[in-house]
């Protein structure tokens, strides 16, 4: 039970972002818009913990990196909880604002959520045994697809002058995470 605390970290961060958005914005629609934006942002560090866990152990084998890898399942479930709160905030904002969305704009995120929920539902030893190699395929595809959605969303913010600074920070974080994974992959190949 003690190792499950990352789930509560992910959920707590998103609930705090949701509450903050609704409290500091007097306009109901803008409050939900703010909440949707900030629940996505607080989910990124939780996601990066999951995305980088095995690579950090390979590059920096230490107690902290091994602990992160050991608890990666719980960090992943924390991210799933965090991004479920984000989904609620986003759907609520879209409904009350009447902001039109096309299938083309909803499909990439929808696929990311399907993968996220599939990974969360299969985050157990029993699911790993039952799915065999398909478990790894699902989780590998899912983690990289979600990384791509974070990256492309961040690039979109860079293109908007009002959102450029947070967008640049997020682009830098996602590219740095990818660089760490590539470096770990190269080290693994060099060792074989």
How many Å apart are CA 5 and CA 55, to the nearest integer? 22
| Domain regions of the chain by residue span | 2-191
State the pLDDT at residue 102. 87
Tokens representing 22?
Answer: 């609704």
29: three-class secondary structure by DSSP: helix
State the pLDDT at residue 1. 47
Per-residue pLDDT of the chain (192 residues; tens, 9 = 90+): 458 899 999 999 999 999 999 999 889 999 999 999 999 999 999 999 999 999 999 999 999 999 999 999 999 999 999 999 999 999 999 999 998 888 888 899 999 999 999 999 999 999 999 999 999 999 999 999 999 999 999 999 999 999 999 999 999 999 999 999 999 999 989 987
Q: What is the pTM of this model?
A: 0.93
How many Å apart are CA 102 and CA 139, to the nearest integer? 28
How many Å apart are CA 124 and CA 108, to the nearest integer? 26
150: three-class secondary structure by DSSP: helix
State the pLDDT at residue 88. 97
């Amino acid at each position: 039970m003690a190792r499950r605390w990352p789930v509560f970290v992910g959920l707590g961060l998103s609930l705090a972002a949701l509450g903050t958005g609704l409290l500091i914005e007097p306009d109901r629609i803008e409050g939900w818009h703010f909440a949707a934006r900030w629940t996505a942002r607080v989910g990124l560090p939780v996601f990066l913990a999951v995305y980088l866990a095995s690579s950090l152990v390979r590059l920096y084998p230490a107690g902290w990196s091994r602990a992160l890898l050991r608890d990666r399942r719980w960090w992943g479930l924390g991210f799933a909880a965090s991004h479920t709160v984000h989904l609620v905030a986003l759907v609520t904002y879209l409904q009350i604002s009447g902001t039109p969305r096309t299938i083309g704009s909803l499909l990439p995120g929808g696929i990311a959520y399907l993968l996220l929920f599939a990974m969360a539902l299969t985050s157990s030893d029993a699911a790993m045994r039952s799915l065999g190699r398909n478990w790894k395929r699902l989780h590998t595809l899912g983690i990289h697809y979600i990384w791509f959605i974070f990256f492309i969303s961040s690039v979109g913010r860079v293109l908007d002058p009002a959102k450029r600074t947070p967008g640049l920070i997020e682009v830098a974080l996602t590219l740095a995470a990818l660089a760490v994974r590539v470096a770990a992959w190269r080290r693994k190949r060099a060792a074989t």
